Every structure is written in C-alpha cells, then in structure tokens.
Structure 1
Amino acid sequence: MADDEAEIRRLVEQWADAIRSADLPGVLADHTEDIVMFDVPPPHQGARGLDAYRATWPPFFDWLATGARFDIESLDITAGDDVAFAYALLRCGTPEELAARPETRLRLTLGLRREAGRWRIAHEHHSFADTTAVAPDA
C-alpha cells in the first residue's frame, strides 16, 4: 500500500501544481468522468460530471491570478486495493486574507478509485470552517 500512497501523493501534488499554473488539462487529468465535487462557492448541490467540474475552474484561475495562494500544508492518505481517500489542509487565500486570518485553512477531502490500473479522483470536497459559529460550552 505504500506504493499506492506515494502514487496518490504525486497525483495530488501534480493536481495542485496544475491549479497554480492554471493548467486546466492538468487539473482534469486524473479525474473520473463521473466526478462529484462539493466546493466552497455555489452550486450548493455540487458539480457533477467532468464537464461541470471543468466549468468551475476558470473563475478560480482568475482569482489566483490576483496573487492568491493554493499551497498544500499537510496531506494524509489511506489506500485500499481499489478505493482510497486523502485529506489535506491548504493555505488558500489572497495575501491580505492570509495576513488577516493566518489560522484559516482550506479543508480538502478526496475520494479515489482505481480504474484501469491507475488512481483517479472520483470525489472532491473543499470547505472552510465556519468562523462565525460559536462552540458550545464544554
């Protein structure tokens, strides 16, 4: 399984590199045709299918071009024979946003499955913690 975890780590790092480079074919390269993504911005029901997933990226690339960051800070992977999941924390924001709220992290969860002998991303979930929520008294 260590080889699978290393392969998935490379896949995720290449995906993040493609995002930072605004390389849409690179972003799409290791995703399934039936990808489901739940993202921070709408649509709240998620992007379903590779065409819908593809359509979400140009506005994000425009935002990154303003100087925003998308940097993996930590990445954990668990791989089985045919399915795997990964979760990560990322520094994602403009320099001003990151300076104002340095503790903020984008949370990323990926579900992967092996297709034709290679790992492919079938599910993505991106979220930020709700900083307006009040924790209950313990």
Structure 2
Amino acid sequence: MTTTPVDTTTATTDEEQVRILLERWFTAVQEADLAGVLAGHADDIVMFDVPPPDAGVRGRDAYRATWPPFLEWQSGDGVFELVELDVTVGDTVAFAWALLRCGPASEVAAHPHQRLRLTVGLEKRSGRWVVTHEHHSFPDRTP
C-alpha cells in the first residue's frame, strides 16, 4: 500500500507544506472524508488515540480502521473545530500541535474551553511530508 500524497505544490516553504497537509486533514475529518483523512499519512503511521487500544495502532490499515466509528459519530451532532495550530519544521522532520473543540455540540457549548490536544510528527520522504505519528488526548478532569 502506498501513501496517498497531498498536493502541496502551491506552498513555497516546508512550513506551508505541513500546514496545508494538516489543514486538509482537519477538513477531511470535518467532512467525514476517509480518503482525505488517510491522505498524507505514512504506511507505518503510529497513532495513540483517546479510545483504546491503549498501546495505540500501528500501520495504515489499523489507522484506517479507527476512523469510521468517529466519522459516523461526528456526522451527527459532533463538533471537530481547529482552534490553534503550531508547526515547527526542520530539514527532514517536523512536528505540530493543535488544540481543537471536539465533542457533542451540547457538551462543547456547555464547556467551551475544553480542548482536544493533538500532536503530530512528520517526516519528509521522497520530497514529500508525511504524517508518521499522531497523538490525541483530552485533559483528565477527574478529581
């Protein structure tokens, strides 16, 4: 299986290329576009998500399998909104963090400051940036 590239040819800097890739990913998640969610992700992606498995998922097929339940949930009254995105880029490695509003619309309205935290690691492979690591988390609010 090959990585589906994200067209970032209009970008002039590596930082712009990474931002375009991630912003298209956010849009794909919002639109429940599974192909778009997978685009730009490496075959050897590792993801640590909020729901199990606790050891995360490894590989593009396992990553793909995690998305349909979330996309179905979100197509109801789910909210997935980018609040803040920060990108740091080196020659061959980049990382980004983001804060998002994510949850049922009523919960997001009741707790407008609650955020989903996202950290993304990327590598430049064959001249293209690909996501090799994702980590999603919510703060632990238990007393």
Q: With structure 2 as the length reference, what TM-score do the two structures score?
A: 0.89
Q: Secondary structure at the match of 1:131?
A: coil
Give the Å deviation of 1:22: 1.1
Q: Secondary structure at the match of 1:124?
A: strand
Q: Secondary structure at the match of 1:114?
A: strand
Number of aligned pairs?
132
Spell out the pairing of 1:1-138 with structure 2 (5 A cutoff).
3-133=13-143
The unaligned stretches of length 5 or more in structure 2 are: 1-11
CA RMSD after TM alignment: 1.0
Q: Secondary structure at the match of 1:70?
A: strand
* Aligned mates of 2:44, 2:80 — CA distance in 1: 25
* Aligned mates of 2:69, 2:113 — CA distance in 1: 25
The unaligned stretches of length 5 or more in structure 1 are: 134-138
Q: Secondary structure at the match of 2:13?
A: helix
* Aligned mates of 2:79, 2:20 — CA distance in 1: 20
Q: With structure 1 as the length reference, what TM-score do the two structures score?
A: 0.93
Give the Å deviation of 1:65: 1.2
2:6 match: none
* Aligned mates of 1:83, 1:121 — CA distance in 2: 10
* Aligned mates of 2:65, 2:51 — CA distance in 1: 13
Deviations 1:8-34 (CA, angstroms, capped at 9, x unpaired): 111101001111111111111100000
Deviations 1:23-58 (CA, angstroms, capped at 9, x unpaired): 111111100000000000011100100000000000
* Aligned mates of 1:26, 1:128 — CA distance in 2: 24
